[in-house]
Chain A
Amino acid sequence: MKREEAVKLVMSMLEKNVEGLEMSEDKMDETLVNIGVDSLDVMLVIMDVGEAAGVAISDDEAETLDTPKKIVDFISS
C-alpha cells in the first residue's frame, strides 16, 4: 500500500473507532495512549486497519505498534 493511502486509512480508522478523536498529521508520532486511544480501541483499530489493508498483523507485531506512524510504516512497508 502506498504511504499516502496508508496514512489516510490509519487516520480514518482511528476516527471511526475512537469516540471524539480528530486526527491530524501532528498526532502521527504521538503514542496511541496519549491521543486517547485505550487498550481495547487499539485492538479494534489494528484489526480494522489490517483487514482494510489486506495485511496480516500478528499479536506480537501488534504489540509494537504504539503510534499511528508505526501502524502506517507497518502496512506500507
Chain B
Amino acid sequence: MLGIHSVASYLPRGRVDNLEQADRFDTESEFVEQKIGVGTLPRFEEADSVVSASVEAFHRLCEKTDIDKSEIECVVVCTQNPDNGGLPHNSALIHASLELPEDCACFDIGLGCSGYVYGLSIIQSFMSASGMKKGLFFTCDPYSRILNPDDKNTCLLFGDAASVTLISDTPYYKLTRAKFSTKGAGSAALKKTSQGLDMNGRAVFNFALQDVPKQINGTLSSAELNVDDIDLFLLHQGSRFMLENTIKRAGIPAEKAPIRLFETGNTVSSSIPLLLEEELDKSPRRVLMSGFGVGLSWATAIYEKVKLT
C-alpha cells in the first residue's frame, strides 16, 4: 500500500507587500486584507527557479524525515510555469540536482490549482502499477512569471512556493476516495495571453461556489461519509472571500477548514501541501482535500490515517 509519508515546503525569500500594491491599484487596504485575505506575497527573485525551489523543499523534507536517495524510484513535478519552458522536463533537472539513481522515473504534469490532488493520485497509481516503493511529488508553479504587472485582479492574489511530498510504502495517510472533474468549455476564465495571466474573476468565483461544494459532497457520499466524519478540510487557498463562501456552501464547519493565505497568497498547486505540512502534526484521522482552478479543473480526495500495526 502506497500513500503520503511526509510533506515539506519552501517559500522564496522575496516578498511583495500587498498593501503597497493595493495603493498602486487604488484599492482599499481593508478589501485586500479582509476580502482577498493576503498581506504579503512570496515572490521568486532572479536566482530562484522551479528546480531550485523544489530542491530547497526537498532539503526541508530531509530535515524531518530520513530519506535514502538511492531508494527514490519516481519523481513527478506539477507545474504550468516550468523552467526552460519545460524542455527538458523539470523533474529530470531536479533528478540531476538531487543526484538520484538512474533507475528512477521522472515526468512533469501540467495542472494548476487542482494539481496537488490530481498529482497525488497520478504518482501513487503509477508507482503502484510499476511496483515502486518510494517517490517524490513536487509542486511549484511560479505565477509571478506570467503576471501582468498592471492587472490588479491577479497581482494581488498569486504567490510563489514549492512543496514536496514523500510517497512511500510505509505511509501515514492512504487514499480512500477521489473525484476528478473538468469543464473545458469554461477554460477561458483563467488563461495565459500575450499580456500575461488573464482571469475572469466572476466566472472563477461562480465555479468555486457552485461546482466545488457539489463535488465535495459527492465525494463524501460515494465514500459513505458525511461532514462529521472528516476531521480536516483542506481547500485550495484561492482568496479569503471565495474560500469562506465555498466552505459555507459545502456545509463544512468553519473550524474544520483552515483559511491561511495571508502570508502566502494563492500558491496554485502548492496551497494544499502548505496547509497539509502544518496540519499533519495534529494527526487528523480523515482529511478531505479539494483543489480547483484553471481548466476549469477540480479534484477532491479523502485520505485516511493508516492504523499502525
Q: Which residues of A contact B (CB under 8 A)?
A: 38-40, 43-44, 47, 59, 62-63
Contact = CB atoms under 8 A, between A and B. Distances in A.
Nearest to B239: A40
For chain A, what secondary structure do more than half of its interface residues adopt (helix, strand, loop), or is it mixed?
helix
6 contacts: A40-B35, A40-B241, A47-B205, A47-B206, A47-B209, A59-B206
A62 B245 contact: no
A43 B206 contact: yes
Given A38-B35, A40-B35, A40-B241, A47 B210 contact: yes
B31 interface: yes
Given A38-B35, A40-B35, A44-B245, A59 B200 contact: yes
B203 interface: yes
A41 B205 CA distance: 11
Closest 9 CB pairs of A and B: A40-B241, A43-B205, A40-B35, A59-B202, A43-B202, A59-B203, A38-B31, A47-B206, A44-B245
B201 interface: yes
Nearest to A51: B210
Contacts of A62: 202
A39 B202 CA distance: 9
Interface residues of B, number: 13
A69 B203 CA distance: 23
Interface string B181-202: 0000000000000000000111
A47 to B, nearest CB: 6
Nearest to B153: A39
B77 to A, nearest CB: 33
Nearest to A63: B202
B201 A43 contact: yes
A47 B201 CA distance: 13
Contacts of B209: 44, 47
Contacts of A59: 200, 202-203, 206
A14 to B, nearest CB: 15
A55 B127 CA distance: 47
A59 to B, nearest CB: 5
Given A43-B205, A43-B206, A59-B206, 8 more contacts: A38-B35, A43-B201, A44-B205, A44-B209, A47-B206, A47-B210, A59-B202, A62-B202
Contacts of A47: 205-206, 209-210
Interface string B283-307: 0000000000000000000000000
Nearest to B36: A40
